[in-house]
Structure 1
């Protein structure tokens, strides 16, 4: 077995010297790169507030997204009462685009057309490139006002009487100024699936007897998830309620509901589509008897439930205001694109100087190929860092 060889001082000193000669150009390149990068540091590096505003727009609406003059005070009060709003004007704009078929999604394919003497129902489905199937339906009730239909679908207490899938409904928080709510639902699923729970944020906008009702899944840190019932995070079910002409006499005595719905229930989507198709009409045909019973109770003087009272508190808007939201969104996206197109120019200056300085150092301080390769590698790392910033 060969004996271990211990280095002597005469051997160590040359090694240390070679290492110092090898490492020195590296450190010089790093220092030069840092100095040059700092010298050409962009504006956002000197002003952190400017960086936040530039790279991450504030959550509160920009001037183009302010509330109408009649609701500015209510909006301010909402922030004081409930903190960050769970349903915002961006959700309103999205629903409006769905109603006006301006959302840019794939085409809808009709899957059902049924009717009764006092109700008609049509349904469509589309399959986006990613995400669960999406459904669109049109329900028309004869001899019904938009206000009655709005309260009917918002009233969780009464829904427990006619919707046999809903087994629990409670209010987590609400805003007395805007009517915005956060509610907790538990829905019963078939025996081979566990029940599902939902944390739903919802709010209504009134555009002159045209009601935009947004409901969607929202996070709620105060209510952690459990194994059972299973939490459904991706949930969207919003509708537009408006008067339409009756098929009987052509008068504006009927009410139309355009519903847009999708959710990820944790079931394979093809199986979920089959279940929806099989059970859709059985669930929908309960709407009309439930509405007529609700109308009779209201006529008898039964006090409004808390949810029904909240449905009567909504934000007043105009159709012109909705159009202005769309234009403001377009302008905002164009501004962001212009800003993003300007950013690489500012970053390329220090990056080129770093690379150029490293190459110059490699070529002048040492003629060894290994040293050049290492310095070039460092330059590439700085370049990658610049692209990530």
Structure 2
């Protein structure tokens, strides 16, 4: 303030009124120039909240206009809106939903972006062939992929076979499953939440799984998703120990028989599995490698027994009946929708990463230039250029340093 007072006192020492006016104009000119530059910058470089408010005005005005206009939607539109409002929340609330189907399809097509698969095993018997692969992500347990081709088997029966928990226990082809119960079920989509207790070796406690599962169908190809889901309503206990990370999903589809007659009488099961059992992953990998073939060999006799029971007219269990309530979809349409989503995401990312044109920095150039000009005008022992240039540098942002 003392500096400004000294400057004004020096101005008013002029002997004539014209001299005082001339000195005041000289003193005020940079201030008016700075104000004009600030006005231009304020218009060209509006803050984000101002743009947001401006953008918000249009939908508000449109809504007001729509409220004043008589709205009489057609019966078809009202019915569609009602159907959408009733279906959408159900899909969102399901334990297994459409994104899980999309993920499984990407894994089947090896387009999920994960590490490459390493071949582990290839075994062939007269009635089926088994191949296995594994990969080890940086974060997470080892993942396994297998292809089992059963001769003279239909996808429908194989689908029911893997879904039938009652038969797993009664036939003992899956001798690790000790007990199971259904916690939730959706008769419309076939989505289920089940609780499993599986037997582990004597040096480990048994494991408990809370699993969500659902089946989608595209023609005779079935995508069967089973994964762990959080259910705080199911109390935890020390024994059996809860497994929180579990993923085991299949793609079941008809394939050509190896008999060479061209008939699609064989069935391929692509399995993708990983879980965190609560033991060191190195030990878990060793156990899988040692016990994999022994477990796989038990599946084929179990499937043949299941086929015989179905042919004899034995009623299917409730679990197997839920496999019939699958969700139909068209593979090509889903693929096109997925591609459009990815393309839109890529376009948005490209637009976001596009380098800005130099004209986008004009507001900063104006501000920095104005600051420098003011510094050169007023710095007659009153201001330090170091302070002004430092302020300009901070205003330009850390990206300029």
Conserved 8 A contact 2:225-2:250:
yes
In structure 1, the residue matched to 2:328 is: 316
Conserved 8 A contact 2:149-2:267:
yes
For the structure 1 residues 75 and 128, does the alpha-carbon distance in structure 2 shift closer, same or farther, using more than 3 Å as the test? Answer: farther
1:41 paired residue among 36, 39, 48: 48
For the structure 1 residues 278 and 311, does the alpha-carbon distance in structure 2 shift closer, same or farther, using more than 3 Å as the test? Answer: same
Conserved 8 A contact 1:174-1:182:
yes
In structure 1, the residue matched to 2:145 is: 136
SS in 2 for 1:243: strand
**Cα deviation, residue 113, structure 1:** 1.4
SS in 2 for 1:160: helix
**Cα deviation, residue 212, structure 1:** 1.0
CA displacement 1:161-197 (0-9 Å, x = unmatched): 3211111211111111111111111111111112222
Which range moves more in the overlay, 329-338 or 109-118?
329-338
Greater Rg by CA? 2
Runs of 4+ displaced beyond 6 Å:
72-76
In structure 1, the residue matched to 2:196 is: 185
**Cα deviation, residue 340, structure 1:** 5.1
Conserved 8 A contact 1:204-1:214:
yes
Superposition pairs of residues 228-307 of structure 1, within 5 angstroms = 228-250=239-261, 251-307=263-319
SS in 2 for 1:130: coil
SS in 1 for 2:94: coil
Conserved 8 A contact 2:91-2:97:
no
Conserved 8 A contact 2:150-2:266:
yes
Matches of 2:82 and 2:267, distance apart in 1: 31
Superposition pairs of residues 139-218 of structure 1, within 5 angstroms = 139-161=148-170, 162=172, 163-218=174-229
- Unpaired runs of 5+ residues, structure 1, are 1-35, 49-71, 385-389
**Cα deviation, residue 125, structure 1:** 0.9
Matches of 1:276 and 1:74, distance apart in 2: 47
CA displacement 1:6-59 (0-9 Å, x = unmatched): xxxxxxxxxxxxxxxxxxxxxxxxxxxxxx9xx7134786589xxxxxxxxxxx
**Cα deviation, residue 73, structure 1:** 10
Superposition pairs of residues 90-129 of structure 1, within 5 angstroms = 90-129=99-138
CA displacement 1:123-154 (0-9 Å, x = unmatched): 11111222111111011111111000000001
SS in 2 for 1:286: helix
SS in 1 for 2:153: coil
SS in 1 for 2:93: coil
TM-score, scaled to structure 2: 0.68
**Cα deviation, residue 274, structure 1:** 0.4
Cα RMSD after superposing both structures: 4.0
Structure with more relative contact order (C-alpha pairs < 8 Å, separation 6 or more)? 1
Q: How many residues align?
A: 327
Which range moves more in the overlay, 73-82 or 133-142?
73-82
CA displacement 1:301-332 (0-9 Å, x = unmatched): 22221211110111112231232133133124
Conserved 8 A contact 2:115-2:137:
yes
- Unpaired runs of 5+ residues, structure 2, are 1-41, 57-80
